[in-house]
Amino acid sequence: MAIGQEKAELTLGPVLFNWQPERWRDFYYRIADEAPVGTVYLGEAICSKRGPFFDPYYEPVVERLTAGGKTVAFSTLSEVMLRLDRQMIERVCASPDLLVEANDASAVFYLRGRPHHIGPFMNVYNEQAALALVQRGARNICVPTEMPASALRELCAAVRTHMVTIEAQVFGRMSLALSARCYHARAHGRTKDSCQFVCENDPDGLDLKALDGRSFLTINGIQTLSYDYLNLIRQVPDLCAMGVARLRLSPHTCDMVAVASAFRDVLDRRIEPDEGMQRLNALQLSAPFSNGFYYGKPGYSLVNPEAARATV
Amino acid sequence: MSATEFHRPELVCPAGTPAAARAAVDAGADAVYCGLQNATNARNFPGLNFTEEEIAETADYVHGRGAKILLAVNTFPPAGKFDLWRGAIDLAVRRGIDAVIVADIGVAAYASSRYPALRMHLSVQAGASSPEAIRFYCEEFGVKRVVLPRMLTVSEIADIHRQIPCEIEAFVFGNIGMMAEGRCSLTNYATGVSTNMDGICSAAGDVHYDEDAAGNLTVRLGNFVLDRFGCNESAGYPTICKGRYSCSARTEPYYAFEEPVTLNLSALLPDLMRAGVTALKIEGRQRSRAYVKAVVAAFRKAVDDIGAGKEARLADLIALTEGYRETEGAFRSKTWR
């Protein structure tokens, strides 16, 4: 079914890790020039302490992305508690020309009444929550990473006649938990206040292994992510058919232009999903792919879409 | 200190069963909170929770003794299943529940538009940790009380109190979840059961213990090893956030998130009461009736002693804490973070 397939857009979520500011800038320059993505989310979603390092580079990055034909949106902090966190939210939401993605109710507090996006940390699992937010100005909603396809399909159908689009992450490590405590600092025997920004040493996060040596989770400051990378490239036709309008790639140090191109080619039916999968496999990431959440299975599992269809 | 410094806080106590609810009220609880036997609440465990008839009977018992009954409808309905949550709110109204405890924006919107007179508390699962987030729920959905996340210090709680139009309920005792409530998919990642959507964290059916010849235990959740214990170590209930792991920054396995400890804020009770906390919450709907009775009685006495200007002592509660160790978590100092 082709409905939605033409207009489905690739987006790039915010960089969740603490990259060196120059690396961060150069990454977005290349995205601006080469990646077939429609919307790019900028902004620090994890830790307000990291925020100021990127301030000097927002203006040139936004300029370059805009020149490259990309829509730019700002993602807000996922956990808002400290004075510094709250100031960041107020500042981002104060400017009426910015398109902002709210990742916490404190951002929605400021954004209600004007068009905005709702981010994946906001816990929109159902149509009632979606419509309550649409009434208050939400125009795009990115669902939580653990959202199963069965609920995503129902959500898309229920909001179809409303002025809102649905977005879902299709690539990158999955956010699994947030905490007030910084686990990067804890790993190094420090606290959040005395962290000395040790998270900058792990541009894709810090691997956490179970006692049997199996890689399990990834630490990124106050955030815990999966060890595996989510990969829904073989589910792209399914996602388009149910009406998901935006597919989100979460940035990593791997070749994100190649990742975006593979997804775009599948979206445009230039290649089959299986070939897209082969191209992503060829990137030889350090961790395996998984898609279990989509099928209502353990998130780390990798379900073959044909097998899943056969059992329905 | 003088008794006039404090208003008398409400003691809000866990009730996993009708028997626990009666025990809590008899031991001095001002309110009990409970859930239905389904995914609409965050303690959806086998053998726990209430049928509609039990809710009605318990409401009668509780109200007859001047206490309140609250219904936790504090999980997140996945699209297509909203009717179950709608039914829970309808039931609460039908059975004269004093307040519902909600987390999902859709559930809050339904309850506030359908039943404007129904009193609504914002669950800790909503993760509202700033004055602006709390005000959003108050202004949009008429929330009357917020249950604060267990990540704030007492002085931060006092600060929030000054900036919000609703009451504050704070946890004082019980299991301390290390992850921000309502934002944790760790169990789902390992087992396929979602804490947010199914109301289950670290389901007993997915926990496995393997014992070696020396009596050492290996604990797994699904296929993932969470910890190993020597035969003389005492172990708390296994969850991913209290497991031991290894990483490149450490030479030895360590508790990457938190040690198996129980939150015990008895020593901070006067400070919490001064910070403007209206209600003190005890965690533990999954606990036994005897546990509930002991903890509630101890806290009842402590709160009354403080109100009367006496020193409160809660030493006996340590025996009930998980792994026999306790913590004040985030509440005393931000170095916890």
**CATH code that applies to domain B3-176+261-336:** 3.20.20.70
Tokens representing B105?
């924006």
Contacts of A121 in chain B (CB under 8 A): 183
Sign (positive or negative) of CA dihedral B172, B174, B179, B183 = negative
CB A19 within 8 Å of CB A57? no
Q: Tell me what pLDDT residue B18 has.
A: 97
Chain A closest-CA separation from residue B17 CA (Å): 29
Tokens representing B20?
């626990």
d(CA A238, CA B90): 36
Maximal C-alpha separation, chain B: 62
Q: How confident is the model at residue B315 (pLDDT cuts 50, 70, 90)?
A: low
CB B82 within 8 Å of CB A127? yes
Asked whether the predicted pLDDT for residue B5 surpasses 70, the reply is no
Q: Cβ A128–B152 below 8 Å, yes or no?
A: no
- Say how many C-beta atoms besides its own lie within 10 A of residue A81's C-beta: 25
Q: Cβ B81–A191 below 8 Å, yes or no?
A: no
d(CA A28, CA A43): 12
pLDDT in tens, B205-258: 999 999 989 888 999 999 999 999 887 777 778 999 999 999 999 999 999 998
pLDDT in tens, B139-174: 999 999 999 988 888 999 999 999 999 999 999 888
d(CA A39, CA B235): 48
Delimiting residues of CATH 3.20.20.70 domain(s) in chain B: 3-176+261-336
Tokens representing B135?
């005000």
Q: Tell me what pLDDT residue A3 has.
A: 40
Q: Cβ A177–B79 below 8 Å, yes or no?
A: no
Q: Cβ A128–B109 below 8 Å, yes or no?
A: yes
User: What Cα–Cα distance (Å) separates residue A9 from each residue in A36, A39, A96, A125, A167?
Assistant: 9, 8, 24, 21, 9
Q: Which one, of B112, B147, B106, B101, lies nearest residue B127 by Cα?
A: B147
Q: Which one, of A164, A161, A156, A171, lies nearest residue A236 by Cα?
A: A171
- Say how many C-beta atoms besides its own lie within 10 A of residue B163's C-beta: 11
Q: Which residue in A130, A178, A187 is closest to B183 by CB distance?
A: A178
Is the ipTM beyond the 0.90 threshold? yes
Q: Cβ B130–A106 below 8 Å, yes or no?
A: yes
Tokens representing B24?
């809590």
Element (H, E) at B254: strand B254-255
Sign (positive or negative) of CA dihedral A102, A107, A108, A110 = negative
d(CA B31, CA A75): 40
Alpha helices in B37-141 (DSSP H): 52-64, 82-94, 105-114, 131-141
Sign (positive or negative) of CA dihedral B115, B121, B122, B124 = negative
pLDDT in tens, B178-204: 789 999 999 999 999 999 999 999 999
Q: How confident is the model at residue B332 (pLDDT cuts 50, 70, 90)?
A: confident
CB A116 within 8 Å of CB A138? yes
Chain A closest-CA separation from residue B163 CA (Å): 13
Q: How confident is the model at residue B316 (pLDDT cuts 50, 70, 90)?
A: low
- Please check whether residue B158 touches A, CB under 8 A: no
Maximal C-alpha separation, chain A: 54
d(CA A286, CA A284): 6
Asked whether the predicted pLDDT for residue B3 surpasses 50, the reply is no
As a whole number, the mean pLDDT across chain B is 91
Tokens representing A73?
């949106």
Asked whether the predicted pLDDT for residue B322 surpasses 80, the reply is no
d(CA A248, CA A168): 6
What is the 8-class DSSP label of residue B257?
S
Q: Tell me what pLDDT residue B321 has.
A: 61
Q: Exposure pattern of B248-263 as b/e (b: 16+ CB <10 Å)?
A: ebeeebbbbbbebbbb
pLDDT in tens, B52-94: 999 999 999 999 999 999 999 999 999 999 999 999 999 999 9
Length of chain A: 312
Domains in chain A with CATH codes: 9-174+229-287 (3.20.20.110)
d(CA B153, CA B165): 20
Q: Which residue in B189, B253, B334 is closest to A176 by CB distance?
A: B189
Contacts of B244 in chain A (CB under 8 A): 211
Per DSSP, the residues of B154-197 read HHHHHHHHTT-SSEEEEEEEEE---SPTT-B-HHHHHHS--HHH
Residue of B112, B137, B157, B189 for testing the chain A interface, max A β-carbons within 10 Å: B189
One digit per residue, the tens of pLDDT, for chain A of length 312 reads 334 445 799 999 999 999 999 999 999 999 999 999 999 999 999 999 998 999 999 999 999 999 999 999 999 999 999 999 999 999 999 988 899 999 999 999 999 999 999 999 999 999 999 999 999 999 999 999 999 999 999 999 999 999 999 999 999 999 999 999 999 999 999 999 999 999 999 999 999 999 999 999 999 999 999 999 999 999 999 999 999 999 999 999 999 999 999 999 999 999 999 999 999 999 999 999 999 999 999 999 999 988 877 654
Q: Tell me what pLDDT residue B320 has.
A: 63
Chain A: residue nearest B106 by CA?
A129
Sign (positive or negative) of CA dihedral B84, B86, B88, B94 = negative
Interface list for B 163-222 with A (CB within 8 A): 178-180, 182-186, 188-192, 194, 196-197, 218, 222
